[in-house]
Amino acid sequence: MRSAVLLAALLAVLLFLERAAGPAAADARQTHRPLVGLAEQQSLELTGFALTIGGERHEYRQGDGSWRCVTAFGAVAHPRQITDFTRALLTRPASWRAPSTPLEEASGFGLDAPIQVEFFQSEAVDGSLVFFLGEFVGSPNGASVFVRREGVDGVWELDAEHLEPLSIRRSAGLPPLLDRRLTAGCLLDPSRGIARAFIDFEAGTSLELHPEEADGGIRWVLSDGTSEREVLPFRLAGWLAFLQRAPYAGFANPRSAAQRGLEPPAARVTLFPPDAPSIELVLGREVEGEVYLQNRTSDMILLLPPDSSALIAPDARALTEPEGENPWERWLR
C-alpha cells in the first residue's frame, strides 16, 4: 500500500508538470497526444513496473525510500532515471506514425522484437498498462523511439531522451535503470563531507579519521590508536569522491557473503555523513581472482572492478604522506 501511495504522489507531480506544458488531448483520434489520456492518468494507482528486454524480465518495486530491481537481488535503481522513464511513457505526447497494425507485422518499426514495459496497478484498479518499444531513431533534433500501447491502435513515435537507458547494451545480468555506484542507495555528498570515518583492517591496525580545530580552521587527523598524523586534504577529498562516484562491475545474492570472501572480510569502512545514516562498506578477500564489496547500508553485494581494494580501504600512508601521486586524482576532475 505504501508503494502505491508513493507512486500516486509521483504521478501527481508529473501530471502537474504536464498540465503546465499544455492540456493533454482527450480525443483518441488525435495524432499528437499522450498514450495515456488525462482522465486515465488521474485514476492510475501504480505499484511498480517490469521491463522485458532480449528475453530477460526485470521487475522494479519501491520500498524503504528506494527503487529496487527485485528480480536482481534487490539491486538499487537510479531514482532520476526511474522518474524520467515513468514520465516519458505516461505523460509525454507521442506522434501517430502508422495505422492499426498487428504487432507481429510491425517489423519496419523494430517492433518484431520489442522492449516490453508493463506498469502494475493496485488491486483496486483492473489490469496493467503495457507498452512495446521498437527502434530507437537518431535525428538532428534528438533521438526518438517507435512505440505501441496495448489496446491502442497504431504505431507512435515518442521522444526518447529519457528512454535511451533502456536501449544501451549492458553486461550480462545487469538490468537497466540501476544506480551503478558503490554507494548506491546511500547519501554521500563530497561537497558536505563526512563527520568521521573508520577503516578497520581484519589483519592490521584500525584507523580513525576525524576533524579537529586548528589555527581558526579545521584539519583532518588520522589516528591509529597510538599516534596521530594530519590527513592531506586532497587525498581525503579524492577518497570520498571515489566512493561516491566509482561504479561496480556486477552484483551477487546478499545471502552469498560467505562464498564471496566477506566472512571474514579484508577490511571494513564506516562513514558518518552529516544528517544521514552511516554507510558501512565491507571489503572482501580475493576469491578466485574476484573481490566483492558488501554495502551493508543498502544490502547489496557488489563485484569490484580490478585494483579497487586499496582505493576503498586505503592505508595510513596513502592518506597522509605527500610523496607520489594522489591515487584518487581522476575522481577529483
Which pLDDT tens digit goes with each residue over 40-65?
A: 888 888 899 999 998 899 999 998 78
Question: Which triple of cell numbers denotes residue 3?
Answer: 508503494
Inside any domain, residue 182: no
pLDDT above 90 for 214: no
298 and 153: one domain?
no
146 and 233: one domain?
no
| 129-143, 203-217, 279-293, range with greatest mean pLDDT | 279-293
Inside any domain, residue 190: no
213 and 328: one domain?
yes
153 and 205: one domain?
no
Inside any domain, residue 223: yes
23 and 98: one domain?
yes
Q: Last residue of a domain, which of 166, 184, 207?
A: 166
CA R_g for the chain: 24
Which pLDDT tens digit goes with each residue over 242-279?
A: 999 999 999 999 999 999 999 999 999 999 999 888 99
The pLDDT of residue 142? 81
Higher local confidence (pLDDT), 217 or 149: 149
80 and 135: one domain?
yes
d(CA 328, CA 326) in angstroms, rounded, equals 5
Q: Last residue of a domain, which of 166, 185, 218?
A: 166
pLDDT above 90 for 230: yes
d(CA 328, CA 132) in angstroms, rounded, equals 43
Range of the domain at 220: 196-332
Average pLDDT on 291-306 reads 95
Inside any domain, residue 189: no
Number of domains making up the chain: 2
CA 40 to each of CA 37, 148, 156: distance values in angstroms, whole numbers, following the listed order: 5, 17, 19
101 and 203: one domain?
no
96 and 145: one domain?
yes
Least trusted range by pLDDT, from 9-13, 206-210, 299-303: 9-13
16 and 104: one domain?
yes
Inside any domain, residue 28: yes
Higher local confidence (pLDDT), 29 or 295: 295
152 and 221: one domain?
no
153 and 11: one domain?
yes
Please state, for a pLDDT cut of 90, what percent of the chain lies above it. Answer: 62
The pTM score is: 0.83
pLDDT above 80 for 190: no
Which pLDDT tens digit goes with each residue over 135-189?
A: 898 877 788 999 999 988 889 999 998 998 998 877 777 899 999 999 998 988 8
Question: Which spans in 44-94 are helix H?
Answer: 79-91
The pLDDT of residue 156? 92
Determine how many CB atoms are found less than 10 A away from the CB of residue 218.
11
323 and 238: one domain?
yes
pLDDT above 80 for 14: no
The pLDDT of residue 24? 36
2-21 helix and 79-91 helix, angle to the nearest 10 degrees: 60
Inside any domain, residue 179: no
Which pLDDT tens digit goes with each residue over 90-147?
A: 999 999 988 766 655 666 788 888 999 999 988 877 778 999 999 898 877 788 999 9
Inside any domain, residue 286: yes
Residue 40 CA from chain centroid, whole number:
29
pLDDT above 60 for 6: no
The pLDDT of residue 12? 44
Inside any domain, residue 58: yes
